Structure 1
Amino acid sequence: MIKTLIVFGTRPEAIKMAPLVKELKKDFHFDVKVCVTAQHRQMLDQVLEIFDIKPDYDLDIMKYNQSLFSITSDVLLRFEKVLEKERPDIVLVHGDTTTTFAAALASFYFKTKIGHVEAGLRTYNKYSPFPEEMNRKLTAALCDLHFAPTKRAKLNLMAEGVKEETIFVTGNTVIDTLKFTVKEDYVFKEDSLTNIDFSKRIILLTAHRRENFGKPLENIFEAVLKIANEFEDVVFVYPVHLNPNVKDVAHRILKDHPRIKLINPIDVDDMHNLIARSYLVLTDSGGLQEEAPSLGKPVVVLRDTTERPEAVLAKTVVVAGTSKERIVEIVTKLLTDEEEYLQMARAVNPYGDGEASRRIKDALLYHFGESSKKPNEFRGSDKYV
């Protein structure tokens, strides 16, 4: 059996790794163990419960207002003990979090093979997003296998000297997750969502990036306030991140508006079904740029850069930055120009077909000699390079 140790620490990682955990655990070739760092605690636990994933190891590192220094050092030191006990054939990490980089570094120190899920995303600006851009670049340098979601991501890796035979284009596992979560007859668990008037145009807002702390976040919230005041048929729903750098500013600027609903963080079931019932999405997140287009929802990205340019080329996403005026201009266009809206809503999602986890499993079987057939690549992103 292939001893496989899967590591993640945040809610977005858990959402994207859950279908892979399920896929590998049902195959007799794999002995799968799960380690969570709990870089996020409450939000991570929600996902684990929904997918019925019981971690074999919980490093429980989260601290109030934690720093990147403490996250990195705590993961590095605590994960060493897990590696010593398990001695896996391969460690699988995801994406671009500090958990990802620190776990990959620890695995490298232990001379253990590392596989990187969602490899190859780049903005080529080391401070945008921060610290994610450098987390994923440094992780790539440490890894043995690279599971790129798109052809562009593969080309990014090859341009950095990664050998082509170690790269597998799989699609993104988050599209796999939607098959488990989105239901037409879904009933929201969060009470605040059951009271929303879905006959109005719902705009889902998420904003939490470190590089947006301070003035950029204030600009985003002021733009939202202006849009809400100008469009009486619009309701904003904002699951507010627990970080005080986000929460305090959101409540100061937005709390008193009757059509801006500031709610607690919601679990992945509620989130995916909320996207499905929304008119459009405003976000500085990465995952929502992949999820929303699969559900036919235009995405306005509240960042100056995106590591997902395929979505921009496919016209499912538009990058607004954090200028109040620019955000208002773009959202107003989507609310008033039906042709513009439908062009985005009907665009083809370049990120996957719901089979990414199976492709990753097949790539692992091929790499470890359990299969002689190299898996077919996901081709849905080929024209967006």
Structure 2
Amino acid sequence: MRPRRIVSVVGTRPEAIKIAPIALEARRRPGLCHRLVATGQHPALFDDALAGFGIAADDRLHLAPPDAPRADRLAALEAGIAAHLHRLAPDLVLVQGDTDSARAAARAAVSLGLPIGHVEAGLRSGRPDRPWPEEPNRREIDGCAALLFAPTPGNAANLADVAGIVAVTGNTGIDALRIARPALPVPAPPIPGLRQLLVTCHRRENQGERLHGICAALRRIADRSDVRLTLPLHPNPAVGPVIAARLGDHPRIRLVAPLDHRAMLAAIRDADLILSDSGGIQEEAPAFGTPLLVLRAETERPEAVAAGHCRLIGNRPDRIVAEAGRLLDDPAAYAAMARPGLPFGAGDAAIKILDAIELWFGAAPGKHRQRRKPAMSPGESRPPAGA
């Protein structure tokens, strides 16, 4: 029997990081042939992210300029991906997360009658507009996927109304962290009396006037003599230039270029406190035991909040300053959050995902398309790739 063909269609740096463990694990399975297709949504950052795992895209489509109107970009993505999938004729199309590339790939697969596997399925913020367009994207993808790989039981519960098969697998972002962790640089010696804060901010709901308010709060925090802030500048022109103009002259704020995966993981590990609206950091910070204040009013990753690793504080300047000050000045409050944990899995999600796919491929023809929501928990018959 020929190997079953799986095509992963991905476009952004976070997608590359989270699909890489699946690509590595698929190499170890002779019954699978995995192909990685890059849509060109984040070309330079995407390639750098994959290079950190020793892999590269098999196909590069370069379908739409990043500055094109979103509607035009989505149409070009969907048409170009559909044409490419038609040529490849895969047995399964994998998409990761909730980006426009993932949505376009799912729509393209549907148009061709190809089954879809959704990696990181079932995330919900409860607000259709926050984050936008991620929340509507993920709901649409979940609705048309044959296989839904939910990181947590809570994510699986959010999929009660979909027709696909749901498997609770953990999050491949933790797999990527586990693979990269041994190669992280040795931590620099701490500076006595100085706490290191890491800040990232890029969400659409935190842009415009809200971003100005967040910057004002960060200046107030940086006025403390016992802190230093490091802030990687997001490449979005609505974010990076604004932050640089508002914060670039502060002596205790260090603005840096976007960090690659390993450098970001090292920064998360070495920080005393993180302020961020990033989804991925909500998964990674708990693994290092670094307290995280989430600059959002809601999150699609409530598991980290429930476990006490993260705290939702929104984007009002006074609250940002107050919550940061509480953790910096109250040792007990800080210690309650500064403990490692793994609410998003132990780093074996890729194994569970591919076990579920192989089980699905082995089902009697057609039956997998009628089954509804049996929670599949395939056994861990192999050690994680890279272990």
User: Scaled by the length of structure 1, what TM-score is found?
Assistant: 0.91
The one-letter code of the counterpart of 1:166 is I
Q: CA RMSD in A?
A: 2.1
Structure 2 Cα separation of the partners of residues 242 and 105 of structure 1: 27
After superposition, the Cα gap between the structure-2 partners of 1:315 and 1:377, relative to the gap in structure 1 and judged at 3 Å, is farther
Show the counterpart of 2:114: 112
Structure 2 Cα separation of the partners of residues 9 and 282 of structure 1: 26
The structural deviation recorded for 1:62 is 5.5
- Does the CA-based 8 Å contact 2:230-2:256 persist in structure 1? yes
Structure 1 Cα separation of the partners of residues 182 and 216 of structure 2: 34
Question: Which runs of 5 or more structure 1 residues have no equivalent in the other structure?
Answer: 189-193, 379-385
- Does the CA-based 8 Å contact 1:5-1:33 persist in structure 2? yes
Q: Work out the percentage of aligned pairs sharing the same amino acid.
A: 39
Alignment of 1:189-338 (within 5 A): 200-229=194-223, 231-338=224-331
- Does the CA-based 8 Å contact 1:183-1:273 persist in structure 2? no
Alignment of 1:84-123 (within 5 A): 84-123=86-125
- Does the CA-based 8 Å contact 1:40-1:62 persist in structure 2? no
Show the counterpart of 2:62: 60
Out of 314, 333, 337, the residue aligned to residue 340 of structure 1 is 333
In the TM superposition, structure 1's runs of 4+ consecutive aligned residues that sit over 4 Å from their partners are 196-199
The one-letter code of the counterpart of 1:174 is G
Out of 5, 8, 11, the residue aligned to residue 6 of structure 1 is 8
After superposition, the Cα gap between the structure-2 partners of 1:110 and 1:219, relative to the gap in structure 1 and judged at 3 Å, is same
After superposition, the Cα gap between the structure-2 partners of 1:376 and 1:344, relative to the gap in structure 1 and judged at 3 Å, is farther
Structure 2 Cα separation of the partners of residues 273 and 43 of structure 1: 18
Structure 1 Cα separation of the partners of residues 38 and 288 of structure 2: 29
Alignment of 1:132-151 (within 5 A): 132-151=134-153
Alignment of 1:26-41 (within 5 A): 26-41=28-43
Post-superposition CA distance 1:54-108 (Å, at most 9, x none): 2121122463534422331121011112111110000000111111111000000
Structure 2 Cα separation of the partners of residues 337 and 301 of structure 1: 18
- Are residues 1:170 and 2:169 paired? yes
Post-superposition CA distance 1:196-242 (Å, at most 9, x none): 9755321111111122210111111111110000x212111111011
Question: Which runs of 5 or more structure 2 residues have no equivalent in the other structure?
Answer: 365-375, 381-387
The one-letter code of the counterpart of 2:97 is G
After superposition, the Cα gap between the structure-2 partners of 1:2 and 1:184, relative to the gap in structure 1 and judged at 3 Å, is closer
After superposition, the Cα gap between the structure-2 partners of 1:127 and 1:185, relative to the gap in structure 1 and judged at 3 Å, is closer
Structure 1 Cα separation of the partners of residues 190 and 324 of structure 2: 20
Show the counterpart of 2:185: 186
Structure 2 Cα separation of the partners of residues 264 and 74 of structure 1: 30
Show the counterpart of 1:71: 73
Post-superposition CA distance 1:254-277 (Å, at most 9, x none): 000111111111110111111111
The one-letter code of the counterpart of 2:132 is F
Structure 1 Cα separation of the partners of residues 167 and 59 of structure 2: 28
Post-superposition CA distance 1:262-300 (Å, at most 9, x none): 111111011111111111211111010000100111111
- Does the CA-based 8 Å contact 1:39-1:71 persist in structure 2? no
Aligned residues: 367
The structural deviation recorded for 1:41 is 2.1
